[in-house]
Structure 1
Amino acid sequence: MNPIKVMIVEDDAKIADLHRRFTEKVEGFEVVAIAQGLDDAKEMIEIFEPDLILLDLYFPEGTSLEMLREIRTKGLETDVILITAAREMGPLKEALRGGVFDYIIKPVILDRFKACLFRFGKYHSRLRNPETLEQKDVDSMRHPSSSASAVTPSEDLPKGIDPLTLKKVQDVFKDPDIENGLGAEDVGSLIGASRSTTRRYLEYLVSVGFIYPDLVYGTVGRPERKYFRN
């Protein structure tokens, strides 16, 4: 099967290169072009016909939301993942209405990024399938969180995600007494796993919509990344 063609649109050369290296860590994806401006990006889309665009939001010439609208208006078979430092609700709403596949907030976490591409890979593969669809197929593509309460079948899991460990992590968040969120260290201590291993499972569950992350600021020290059940 041909690799998924990815185009990166990012005006910061160092960040663009970082996202390129992240993408190349995921099997089945190939970066075919990098554009550092919106005008160049529009030309490259026509030349390279990417399957997926990793799109920054803000550029010196404006936001990329207009380009997103153009992609949809022209009916191009290109999906978009918006990667941005913007935390305002307005751009998020407009991006979602414009049909982005996902919305990743900078700085990008590798595990979250990889899980997102893995999910896109499954979505893209199913769109290529010439067979007829069942309702469950549509639901899994459009509403991944609707099936996230159950453990994903092992054949659908990304490399490094064990179904038994995944179920343990999910079970932690099914506890009705958990309301204030849990950090990776908290979950790790409950299931008997290291913080780094637990973080990998947590970020996978974020990608499928089972939980969501947030930064919790304490009275002293750095903010802590905690996870909450959707």
Structure 2
Amino acid sequence: MTLLEVVIVEDNQKVSRTHQAFVEKVEGFEVTGIANTIGEARLLLNTLEPDLILLDIYFPESNGIEFLRELRASHHSTDVILITAAREVEMLHSALQGGAFDYMIKPVFFERFQESLTNYRNYKKQMATAGTLTQEEADRLFRKSAPAVSMGGDDVPKGIDSVTLKSILAVFENEDNKAMSATEMGQVIGVSRTTARKYLEYLISEGLLTIHLDYGTKGRPERKYRLEKSEAGGTI
């Protein structure tokens, strides 16, 4: 089976390595290049012809949306999936205008990442075998080429903010899943200990975190939280 070639464009090297590991876990794909700047991406595309680019939006020297527009203006046929922290509706609108295949908001669990690449693989297979189309086939293919946005927040209870949840999960990911107390988490994300503990306990109830007691040297034991083992390394 011919593998679909992927180029990763992401300024955070740790995140780009996570992207690469995720891609390698999905059947039918291989990473052929990694760029940490838009300039590096341009150079890569002078020699590579990837099927798919996994593209961040925010870069110190440029913008992923502008790069997407640049690709389309030059009639480059490479497809693009945006994986970004950008939550603004304007960014999504720009992604739609630029013909992005999908739009995922960080942190992204592997299951969502796998779903996106699987949809893309099926889309490429159908496009390669399609001759003339019925309306039903056209509808199916067109829907698969329109971004499916994963923003979260639709199924969280009242009083729980999905942005704060994602921030907490991102902290564990960026800190290599170091166990943290509610006080420590609150200091990192800029909320009170009480608020941080509310969110951490909610994530416990959802099976995303585990807890252990740190007895230290004196006083009451402190509750420490970390990602559930099955989730560790599973978000972007």
SS of structure 1 residue aligned to 2:75: coil
Provide, for residues 9-34 of structure 1, a one-character-per-residue CA deviation record: whole Å limited to 9, x for no partner.
Answer: 00100000000000111000010000
How far apart in 1 are the matches of 2:97 and 2:77? 17
SS of structure 1 residue aligned to 2:72: helix
Provide, for residues 170-219 of structure 1, a one-character-per-residue CA deviation record: whole Å limited to 9, x for no partner.
Answer: xxxxxxxxxxxxxxxxxxxxxxxxxxxxxxxxxxxx96x8x984263536
Q: 1:212 to 1:103 in 2, by over 3 A?
A: closer
Q: Do 2:5 and 2:51's aligned partners in 1 also have CA atoms closer than 8 Å?
A: yes
Identical columns (%): 44
Q: How far is 1:130 from its partner?
A: 5.2
SS of structure 2 residue aligned to 1:32: strand
- Amino acid in the other structure paired with 1:218: G
How far apart in 1 are the matches of 2:79 and 2:9? 13
CA RMSD in angstroms comes to: 2.6
Q: Do 2:4 and 2:28's aligned partners in 1 also have CA atoms closer than 8 Å?
A: yes
Q: Which has the higher contact order (CA 8 A, sep 6+)?
A: 2
SS of structure 2 residue aligned to 1:214: coil
Partner of 2:9: 9
Structure 1 length as normaliser, TM-score?
0.65
Partner of 2:132: 132
Partner of 1:214: 153
Partner of 2:100: 100
Larger radius of gyration: 2
Structure 2 length as normaliser, TM-score?
0.63
How far apart in 2 are the matches of 1:109 and 1:142? 25
Q: Do 2:10 and 2:56's aligned partners in 1 also have CA atoms closer than 8 Å?
A: yes
SS of structure 2 residue aligned to 1:131: coil
- Amino acid in the other structure paired with 1:113: F
Q: Do 2:6 and 2:51's aligned partners in 1 also have CA atoms closer than 8 Å?
A: yes
Moved over 6 A (4+): none
Q: How far is 1:136 from its partner?
A: 1.7
SS of structure 2 residue aligned to 1:59: coil
Provide, for residues 39-92 of structure 1, a one-character-per-residue CA deviation record: whole Å limited to 9, x for no partner.
Answer: 110111221111000000000102111110111112112000001011111111
